[in-house]
Amino acid sequence: MTSAILQLIPSAITIVFSFYGCFHFISEVFTSFIPFGTLLVGTIVFAIYALRVPPPPKEAVEAIIGKDLLDNEDQEGYVLKTVAHRGAGLDAPENSLAAFDLCHASGCDFIEFDVTLTSDGIPVVFHDSTLERMADSNVVVSQTAYEVLKDIDISVKHPLRDRFGVTNIPTLDQTVIKLLRNGQKMIIDIKDNSTKMVPVILDLFVRYPNLYSNAFVTSFFPNIIYLVRRTDPKIVCSLGYRPHMFASQSFKYPVGQGPNRATQFWKTQFFAFCDILHTWAISRITYYVLGIPVILLQKDCISPEIILKWRSKGVRVMAWTVNSPTEKQHISRNLKITYLTDTLTGELSAHSSC
Residue 14: predicted pLDDT = 77
Q: DSSP letters of 39-69?
A: HHHHHHHHHHHHH--PPPPHHHHHHHHBS-S
Mean predicted confidence (pLDDT) in 119-145: 95
- Residue ranges of domains in the chain: 1-51, 58-350
Helices (H), 171-221: 172-182, 197-207
Residues contacting residue 166 through CB under 8 Å, at least 6 positions apart: 153, 155
| CB distance 217 to 61 below 8 Å | no
pLDDT of residue 62 exceeding 50, the answer is: yes
- Per DSSP, the three-state class of 105 is helix
Mean predicted confidence (pLDDT) in 217-223: 97
Beta-strand runs (E) in the chain: 82-85, 110-117, 123-125, 185-190, 215-219, 237-241, 251-252, 256-257, 294-298, 316-320, 338-341
Mean predicted confidence (pLDDT) in 177-186: 98
Residue 345: predicted pLDDT = 87
d(CA 208, CA 215): 11
Assess whether the previous peptide bond of 321 is cis (omega < 30° from 0).
Answer: yes
> Which among 276, 277, 281, 314 has a CA at the least distance from the CA of 295?
314
Beta bridge partners of 257: 251
Residue 119: predicted pLDDT = 96
pLDDT of residue 296 exceeding 50, the answer is: yes
Handedness of CA 96, 101, 103, 104 (dihedral sign): positive
Residue 137: predicted pLDDT = 87
pLDDT band at 349 (very low <50, low <70, confident <90, very high): low
pLDDT of residue 1 exceeding 80, the answer is: no
Q: CA 345 from chain center: how many Å?
A: 24
Q: What is the tens place of the pLDDT at every residue in 193-205? A: 999 999 999 999 9
Beta bridge partners of 84: 111, 341
> Which among 91, 93, 64, 96 has a CA at the least distance from the CA of 79?
64
First-to-last CA distance in the chain? 92
Percentage with pLDDT > 70 across the chain: 92
Q: How many CA atoms, within 13 angstroms, populate the side-chain half-sphere of residue 269?
A: 3
- Residue 260, classified by CB atoms within 10 Å of its CB into exposed (0-12), middle (13-18) or buried (19+), is middle
Residue 110: predicted pLDDT = 98
Most confident of 17-31, 33-47, 246-260, 297-311: 297-311
β 251-252/256-257 pair status:
antiparallel
Query: Average pLDDT over the chain, rounded to whole?
Result: 91
Percentage with pLDDT > 90 across the chain: 75
Q: Which CATH fold topology does 58-350 show? A: TIM Barrel (3.20.20)
Q: What is the tens place of the pLDDT at every residue in 165-178? A: 899 999 999 999 99
> Which among 93, 141, 143, 138 has a CA at the least distance from the CA of 113?
93
Q: What is the tens place of the pLDDT at every residue in 74-120? A: 667 788 999 999 999 999 999 999 999 999 999 999 999 999 999 99
> In Å, what is the CA distance from 312 to each residue of 31, 36, 278, 315?
38, 32, 20, 7
Residue 298: predicted pLDDT = 96
Residue 338: predicted pLDDT = 96
pLDDT of residue 52 exceeding 60, the answer is: yes
Is residue 155 left, alpha or beta, with left meaning phi > 0 and alpha meaning psi from -120 to 50?
Answer: alpha
| CB distance 307 to 339 below 8 Å | no
Q: What is the tens place of the pLDDT at every residue in 229-250? A: 999 999 999 999 999 999 999 8
Mean predicted confidence (pLDDT) in 326-352: 88
d(CA 6, CA 98): 94
